[in-house]
Structure 1
Amino acid sequence: MHISAPADPVLSASGIAAGYGKIAVLEDVALDIGTGEAVGLVGPNGAGKTTLLNVLSGLLPRSAGEVRFEGAGLPSGAPRATGRAGIVQVVEGHRVFSKLSVRDNIELGGYEMQAAARRARLDDVLQTFPELRDRLAEKAGALSGGQRQMLCIAQGLMRAPKLIMLDEPSAGLAPILVDRVVKLVEDLSTRGVSVLFVDQLVDRVAATCDRVYLMRQGRIIGQTSAADPGFKSRLEDVFF
């Protein structure tokens, strides 16, 4: 089954190479994401998934290749420029500022906004995560693991991203909260926000996303979808 990439992608990456010092991780990586498209990225631990997200968000410089967003080239290793373009990465690990309040953590995502715009955006975000509204004054460190994950995503949504990249958002979450993450991905896509969804729950990723890129040893080795009759065998090629 042939899986077609979007004809006019909002994000297009090609020839990406990157690593850490003398350790090469990514080699000739290419992917495209359409406007409002939910795209999955799966592969075994150590495949380079987080490294690729770090390159796309500008947290890690690339040694080769090009990233274009809405037709314009993005500079390498420039997270502020990438964020201003409309790309947000929610990093793995439920990382919050534990000694700051829930409100302060969320508002940090919109630190460049004017105060009135930030307040309005906060209200919009809290409609997505109403359980955080009653805990705005509490320290973020008092939240459960699931609530901290919701807080991390809420902080990312404060920027009203055009593309949000979720790195292992279901890690350590109870099944009911995993369902919330999946529903959020679907809702964002419906609203026209593009999503790059990285997670080990491969079946959930495939069921949620329009397409799934398969990654192994620092390279994209193909793509698939839940509708692909060869879906299971393709996954076996990646993980085993």
Structure 2
Amino acid sequence: MKLAGAGRRMFAVRILLVEDDSDVAEELSTALRRQGGIVSRVSDGQSAIRAHGDVDLILLDLGLPDLDGLEVCRRIRRVSTVPIIVVSAKVEEMDRVLALKSGADDFVSKPYGFWELTARIESLMRRAGTASTPPVESNSAERLIEVGPITVDQRQRRVRVDGAEVDLTRMEFDLLVALLTDPGAVFDRDQLGRVVWGSDWVGSSRALDVHVNALRRKLGNASYIETIRGVGFRVKVSD
């Protein structure tokens, strides 16, 4: 980890650091606390599963002594939408794909720059709606989207299909809302990537496909999101 610079960016985020290397954990915890982070640390997967309910974000290493990090991610994701950033020495694209399929919101490869990591934390917190600036109130009707059997309450970040609630990750939710803003319209990959990943989007991975496929599966009907070959995706839902 490169701790370059002496920036003054601050973020008050409760972070659970899941890292079994005590030296790495101590260095990163200290750096995050200097930037205003409220950091707690555990060194194994079972402890992470028990502690996840009291934090705003999890930094999860994959190489844990008791449970595979992907399994930890899956177990937490079954019961929580807390943002998870996987921080791993694994660098292959498939490692990223597996982490995203397991429910991670982002993936950072070691070694990484500290300011890149903090930027990703801040970006994810903005998308999660937990930034320090309160959201601007809007008309409740404008924040309710109904397209065919799909109903999205943007204020409460809840999704229902045929009346049954669907549990989505933050990125899946943002992706669905983007597609539903103009049902039937084709959104290209860059448009959707910028909505979900913001300035972190580089358009060079399968991450978008992973999230689209997960969203299709959770909505219960793959035909709701149509792939437009060579362009992107669109919602195709009959009333």
TM (norm. structure 1) is 0.30
> By percentage of residues, which structure has more strand?
1
> By percentage of residues, which structure has more helix?
2
Between 1 and 2, higher relative CO (CA 8 Å, sep ≥ 6) is seen in 1
TM (norm. structure 2) is 0.30
